[in-house]
Amino acid sequence: DMSAIIKALSLDAGFILYPYGQRLDIVCDKGTVLGKQTSLYVVLTLLDMEAKKAGVKKRVFLPTWAADIVYFENLEIERGQYANFKSEDLEKYDLVATGEGNFSFTEFSTHRDSMYATLKILEMILTNEVKLSMLIDNIPDFYYTSTQVPCTQALKGKMMRMFLQDAKGKKSSTVDGVKIWLDENDWILMIPDLYSDNLNLYIQAIDNSRGEAILETYSKKIKKWSK
């Protein structure tokens, strides 16, 4: 059990690498396996510290569904559709991440490489002399979830139209699916799944009660719109 080993040996971190060498999970010094958004924020925090120390701005690309509730002073973060990228486009960024455990540090390669990402994360931990648990404690509590709602291919066009209609009068984006801001930090993103009869929903909110309320509200709306 990796968590027990990390605590017993007082290790700084542990990493679980998945087949094909693209995805990883991070285990902190207290033996906790980090969730995907927490892992992303930990890596962004480390990169922000590295950028501050070097006196530069680091460029980061994240997908539209990645949480955005924390501001990083030394990072220029661009969010967009994570598809159809060419290698020369990726080279503009210092880090390209998916929010799903994939990290591409372009100083090494524009491809996802969990082995190099592991080494880079460890390097940033050591050079900044920090503990992952300390970084985690400084991340504000907030609600974030991703889920799927059944939707036939025939209804996906209608769902896009209904979400666009619902977005009227609100801050919104159609870069990837339909993203609707309900408050400064609360939003829902709907992306029709390309490969299955589902809608992908991503929700961020300032706290659990507001997040659950958004999920319940839009689940009911989707059910109503599906009739």
Q: What is the pLDDT of residue 21?
A: 75
Q: What is the pLDDT of residue 60?
A: 97
Q: What are phi and psi of 3, to 5 degrees?
A: -60, -45
CB 59 within 8 A of CB 94: yes
The fold for domain 2-137 equals Alpha-D-Glucose-1,6-Bisphosphate; Chain A, domain 3 (3.40.120)
Q: What is the pLDDT of residue 84?
A: 67
Residue whose structure tokens are 């491809």: 111
Q: What is the pLDDT of residue 26?
A: 95
Closest CA to 24 of 109, 94, 102, 105: 102
pLDDT values of the chain reduced to their tens digit, one per residue, 227 residues: 788 999 899 898 999 998 887 889 999 999 999 999 999 999 999 999 999 999 999 999 999 999 999 999 999 999 988 766 777 788 899 999 988 889 999 988 778 789 999 999 999 999 999 999 999 999 999 999 999 999 999 999 999 999 999 999 999 999 999 999 999 999 999 999 999 999 999 999 999 999 999 999 999 999 999 98
Give the domain ranges of the chain: 2-137, 143-225
Q: What is the pLDDT of residue 95?
A: 96
For residues 104, 105, 107, 109, the Cα torsion angle rounded to the nearest 10 degrees is -20
Closest CA to 204 of 183, 221, 177, 220: 183
The fold for domain 143-225 equals TATA-Binding Protein (3.30.310)
